[in-house]
Amino acid sequence: MKTVTCTAPVNIAVIKYWGKRDEKIILPLNDSISFTLSQDEMCAKTTVSVSPAFSDDRFWLNGKEESLENPRVQNCLKEIRRRASKRKFEGYDEDILNWHVHICSVNNFPTAAGLASSAAGYACLVFALGQVYGVEGDLSSIARQGSGSACRSIFGGLVRWYKGELEDGTDSIARSIAPADHFSDLKVIICVVNADRKKTGSTDGMRRTVQTSQLMQHRVKESVKSRIDSMMEAIQEKNWSSFCDLTIADSNEMHAVCQDTFPPCVYMTDTSHAVTSLIHQYNELKIAQGDINHKVCYTFDAGPNACLFVPGAVAEEILAILLLAFPPDSSETPDEYVRGIRVKPITLSKELMSLIDEDVKSGRLKYLIHTKVGDGPQIIRDAAFSLLDQATGLPKSAGCIS
């Protein structure tokens, strides 16, 4: 039996992928750029085993056996095996391609948070399969076939997914554009919104946008192209203020094309909008103080949760403001409410206190996750952390759930 265990990160796009030109092999209409998040707070973990003793390919996700019929998983598996068959590496055993595979995968973050679990999950699956079968070279174009945004989780730091031009998608790949510490001491705060609304998934939502939105034509042909160029420039010049403005503009444009979709795809809630308005007021205060390097930006995926990029020097004050503006409901202690990196409570200045409405309502956010930017997928060499039992190749009883 050959076994590999890996972890892979979540990524959050600052220039969004929204709309495909090919649904089957997942080719996007525009380039996108993302930050990979630290795996300390959120990651997917996957163990892949191959063995001549297995009688079938099998797949367990978050403790439950799932069918391997899923065409996206199949595409990833087929492509890995095709590439492996072309390549003979040291210690390569040809039989390995005829052996069945067992895959066990878990997310260490609650799916209720509505965070990009499929990106981390598919990146982890493809990275682990790549290790087992000794596939070298670009793995992002394989992860892309699991879920578009997954291709960006193959790398750490700032990542660009090039849409590519070719019909076979071989040039639609992600590349690292800057390391995790490019903007030094950058923190990320995810505001998990207490929303019961039923949402349209990204795949269906973006299909509907491409089919019905006029505004989407403008996004694809004009605005997103020039925004990508400006964003690359802001990144190269480490121009944080411009980075923030472009991130906010692109999130707003994505949600504008969602609103322009027929019927509309509505992802942001009143609480989401309350977070954006607080951030704009905060930034205005910073601008008035001539302190544009400590601006904060927000971005929203296909859901109500705000993802904030926050310079480390103001992370404590932003968390303190959020705690006052969006207090937890009485059942939660501040420690349960703010998860992830610990911070000391601070007293806010008068100016900052003035940003908080007098009639705040508690319980509008479920909780906050305080994290940072991080690196790409990791191999876990200690067999104790494997999700599959080395004797049977079956999920360890607790391992696949915890």
The reply on whether position 202 binds ligand DP6 by CB under 6 A is: yes
Dist. CA 382–CA 108, nearest whole Å: 18
Q: Which is nearer to ligand DP6, 171 or 336 (CB)?
A: 171
The reply on whether position 268 binds ligand DP6 by CB under 6 A is: no
Q: From 9-17, 305-313, 317-325, 367-375, give the range in contact with ligand DP6 by CB under 6 A.
A: 9-17
Count of residues near ligand DP6 by CB under 6 A: 15
CA-closest candidate to residue 343, choices 185, 201, 217, 233 = 185
The reply on whether position 29 binds ligand DP6 by CB under 6 A is: no
CA-closest candidate to residue 401, choices 68, 64, 55 = 64
The letter for the amino acid at 257 is V
**In the complex, what is the shortest distance from the CB of residue 205 to ligand DP6, in angstroms, rounded to a whole number?**
8
The reply on whether position 114 binds ligand DP6 by CB under 6 A is: no
Dist. CA 144–CA 149, nearest whole Å: 7
**In the complex, what is the shortest distance from the CB of residue 186 to ligand DP6, in angstroms, rounded to a whole number?**
18
Task: Name the 3-class secondary structure at 146.
Answer: coil
**In the complex, what is the shortest distance from the CB of residue 345 to ligand DP6, in angstroms, rounded to a whole number?**
33
CA-closest candidate to residue 251, choices 307, 289, 201 = 307
Q: From 12-20, 43-51, 222-230, 319-327, give the range in contact with ligand DP6 by CB under 6 A.
A: 12-20
**In the complex, what is the shortest distance from the CB of residue 152 to ligand DP6, in angstroms, rounded to a whole number?**
7
CA-closest candidate to residue 365, choices 271, 267, 269, 270 = 271
The reply on whether position 35 binds ligand DP6 by CB under 6 A is: no
The reply on whether position 261 binds ligand DP6 by CB under 6 A is: no
Q: Which is nearer to ligand DP6, 79 or 301 (CB)?
A: 301
Question: Which residue's Cβ lies closest to ligand DP6?
Answer: 148
- Binding to ligand DP6 by CB under 6 A, coded x per residue (else -) over 290-319, reads -----------xx-----------------
Q: Where are the alpha helices (DSSP H) in 260-401?
A: 270-288, 315-325, 334-337, 350-353
Q: From 15-23, 163-171, 178-186, 285-293, give the range in contact with ligand DP6 by CB under 6 A.
A: 15-23
Contact with ligand DP6 (CB under 6 A): which of 38, 149, 209, 386?
149
Q: From 11-19, 129-137, 225-233, 337-345, give the range in contact with ligand DP6 by CB under 6 A.
A: 11-19
Q: From 37-45, 142-150, 174-182, 325-333, give the range in contact with ligand DP6 by CB under 6 A.
A: 142-150
Query: Contact at 8 Å (CB) between 51 and 391?
Result: no
Contact with ligand DP6 (CB under 6 A): which of 3, 39, 118, 247?
118
Q: Which is nearer to ligand DP6, 39 or 202 (CB)?
A: 202
The letter for the amino acid at 213 is S
The reply on whether position 5 binds ligand DP6 by CB under 6 A is: no
Contact with ligand DP6 (CB under 6 A): which of 75, 194, 203, 281?
203
Site for ligand DP6 in 334-393 (CB under 6 A): none
Q: Which is nearer to ligand DP6, 203 or 281 (CB)?
A: 203
CA-closest candidate to residue 48, choices 399, 388, 400 = 388
Q: Is the CA virtual torsion 376, 64, 72, 5 positive or negative?
A: positive
Q: Which is nearer to ligand DP6, 117 or 386 (CB)?
A: 117
**In the complex, what is the shortest distance from the CB of residue 57 to ligand DP6, in angstroms, rounded to a whole number?**
22
Q: Which is nearer to ligand DP6, 46 or 118 (CB)?
A: 118
- Binding to ligand DP6 by CB under 6 A, coded x per residue (else -) over 161-180, reads --------------------
CA-closest candidate to residue 182, choices 204, 157, 207, 199 = 157
Buried b (16+ CB within 10 A) or exposed e, 207-224: bbbbeebebbeebbeeeb
- Tokens 């990029």, residue located: 309
377: preceding bond cis by omega (within 30 degrees): no
179: preceding bond cis by omega (within 30 degrees): no
**In the complex, what is the shortest distance from the CB of residue 194 to ligand DP6, in angstroms, rounded to a whole number?**
20
Query: Residue 311, Cα to own-chain centre: how many angstroms?
Result: 19
Query: Contact at 8 Å (CB) between 10 and 115?
Result: yes
CA-closest candidate to residue 60, choices 387, 386, 385, 384 = 387
Dist. CA 265–CA 272, nearest whole Å: 15
- Write the Ramachandran bin of 65: left for phi over 0, alpha for psi from -120 to 50, otherwise beta: beta
Contact residues for ligand DP6, defined by CB under 6 A: 13, 16-18, 26, 32, 116, 118, 147-149, 202-203, 301-302
